[in-house]
Structure 1
C-alpha cells in the first residue's frame, strides 16, 4: 500500500460526492472539503447544502465554503491544511494560480471526457449529442486554463445507442473514483507522468441551454435522437403543440427511436399514431416518439397519451398543431 496523502477535496453535486466517498473509504486522509455556499432551493427558498457538504458533515470532516479565493484569508485557510494534493470534481468555482500552487503536488481534476475533446461545462451531454461512440474520465493536473492541464490518467467507456446523458453520468460516477484512486497511488510514489494536451484537437462542451431542447423537425431523425438522449435528465427534448385557441402546450419527449423510412412529407407531419408510438417526418427518415410528458402530467407511453389526446395527433397533420 502506498503512503497515504493528505487530500483537500472540492466538489458540489452527487457526482463529486461519489468521488469523495471513495476517498473517505481509502487509506488517504481527507483533511478538508470545499464546496460553494449553500443556496436557496424549493418553493420556500430554504438554504440547502449540496451533496458533497452533506457527505462531509456525516463523516465529521471540516467544510469550507468560500465565495471565491480572491481574499487572502481564504487562501491562507486553504494553505493551513498543508495538503499534499487538492482533488477537484465539479466544483464550480475558478481556482486562481495561487491556489493551484498551494498543495505540495498541486491540484488535480476529474473531468468527464477524453481530453482534449469536450473541454467545458457539459462534456457528457455534448459527447452523446455529437454521436461519439466512446467517452470516459480524464484525471489532469490543473492549470490556469479551462480543462487545459496535462493529462495523468484516462479511463474510457463506450456510448451505446441506448445511452442517455443520465446513464453515462452513472457509468462515469463509477469509473471516475477508481481512476482517481489509481492516480493518487501513482502520485504518492512519484510515478505519475504528465502528458500535454494537443490543443489542435480540442473541442468545447458549451453549457446546455433550455432553448436547445425544442425539437427542430428540419433536422434528420438521427440527429434529433442524439439530442433527445443528450438532454436527459435536463432540459429534456420537447415540442410545442398549439391548439385551436392558440394555446401552447410544451410536451417533453423521454424516449424515441429512429424509423429509417423514406418519405416525401413535410417535416413535422405525423406519419402514424398507434400503440407503437407517434411517428413524425424529419429532414431524413422519421422519429418515433414512444414516451412523452404532457404539461403538468407524468411521463407516459404514447399509447396512453393517445387515449386522452388523440385529437392532437392526427395522421397527416403537423405534430405542432395549428402552427400557422
Structure 2
C-alpha cells in the first residue's frame, strides 16, 4: 500500500520500521520540526525523522496542517492510507479525508479509557492493573474513532511508565502490522466506541511532579512509577545543610508508621497512610543510582524529607 506515516518520538519508530519491512511503500513521513536541545542548543531531529532518513523516505515537518497549502501537499502524495503514531499535531478534516482508507492511529490505552495526550502515564498514576494498545480509525474528535484491533497489557505492581512504554512500543508495531494485513485482505472491521468509562489523559504538567507525602502510600507509589523516568517525581532532602532535589525513579510499598515525610529506615518514607520504599533515585546533577549507593554518598540524613 502507498502510505504516509506520521509520528515523532521513539514510541513511533518500531511501527514505521514494521511498515517498511512488510514491503509497503511509505511515500512520505511527517514529523515535528527539529528543536534546539542540549547545552549547545543545536537543532535536534526527532527519532522518526532520523529513522525516515535512514530508510531514504522524504520527510515533511510542517508547523501546522490547517493551511490549504499544506493540505494540497499532503493530498499530492496520493496515499491510500495514513498511519499516525504519537505525531503531536492536530489533523483537520481535509487531511483525515485525503487518503482512500483514511487515517489509522495507534493509541496507548484501552479506549475509551484514557483518551488524550498522556495515556501511559495516567494509567500507571491511577493504579490501573491493565491497559493496552489499539488501532483505531481517526476522526475529528479526540481519540473518539471506531476501534479495529487491540491487545491487553497487564500493569505490574511496581511497573514504571517507562517500562510500560517499551512494552507498548513493541506490541503496537506488531498490532499495526496485523491491522494492515487485514485491511489488505478486506477483513479489517471497526467497532464504534461507547462513551462509558471515558477518562481524559491530560498532558503531564511540571507542577504535578513534586511528591505529596501526605497521600496514602499506594497513591505516592503510583505517582512515582507513573512519572518515571520522565519528568520524574521529586522531593527535597537536606544534605550537608543544603536542600537537595532528588527524583524518585523506582519504589515499592514499604512498612512502618510515622508522620508524612519521616525517614523510617534507609529510604523508606512514611506517607499519609503506610510507607513507600525508594529503590532507585537521582540526585540533581548526577545519574540514576540505587538506594544503597545514594545512602553511601549522602552522609548523615535528616529525620524528614519534604
TM-score (norm 2): 0.95
Q: Who is 1:279 aligned against?
A: 268
Q: Who is 2:304 aligned against?
A: 318
Q: Hey, what's the Cα distance between the residues in 1 that align with 2:15 and 2:240?
A: 52
Contact 2:238 2:301 in 1 (8 A): no
Q: Who is 1:254 aligned against?
A: 249
**RMSD of equivalent CA atoms:** 1.6
Contact 2:238 2:305 in 1 (8 A): no
Contact 1:87 1:108 in 2 (8 A): yes
Which stretch has the larger CA shift, 105-114 or 192-201? 192-201
**In the TM superposition, what are the counterparts of 1:164-179 in structure 2 within 5 Å?**
164-179=160-175
**In the TM superposition, what are the counterparts of 1:141-152 in structure 2 within 5 Å?**
141-152=137-148
Contact 2:232 2:249 in 1 (8 A): yes
Q: Who is 1:291 aligned against?
A: 280
1:292 shift after superposition: 2.1
Q: Hey, what's the Cα distance between the residues in 2 that align with 1:252 and 1:144?
A: 38
1:168 shift after superposition: 0.8
5+ residue gaps, structure 1? none
1:194 shift after superposition: 1.4
Residue 294 of structure 2 is aligned to residue 305 of structure 1: yes
TM-score (norm 1): 0.90
Contact 1:312 1:319 in 2 (8 A): no
SS in structure 1 of the partner of residue 299 of structure 2: helix
Residue 233 of structure 2 is aligned to residue 240 of structure 1: no
SS in structure 2 of the partner of residue 280 of structure 1: strand
Question: Can you list the C-alpha shifts for 1:197-255, whole angstroms capped at 9, x where unaligned?
Answer: 1113211111111222211111111111111111111111111124686x431111122
Q: Hey, what's the Cα distance between the residues in 2 that align with 1:182 and 1:301?
A: 40
Q: Hey, what's the Cα distance between the residues in 1 that align with 2:116 and 2:286?
A: 34
**In the TM superposition, what are the counterparts of 1:181-196 in structure 2 within 5 Å?**
181-196=177-192
Q: Who is 1:266 aligned against?
A: 259
1:304 shift after superposition: 2.8
Q: 1:38 to 1:308 in 2, by over 3 A?
A: closer
**In the TM superposition, what are the counterparts of 1:32-47 in structure 2 within 5 Å?**
32-47=28-43
Q: Hey, what's the Cα distance between the residues in 2 that align with 1:186 and 1:260?
A: 51
Number of matched pairs: 306
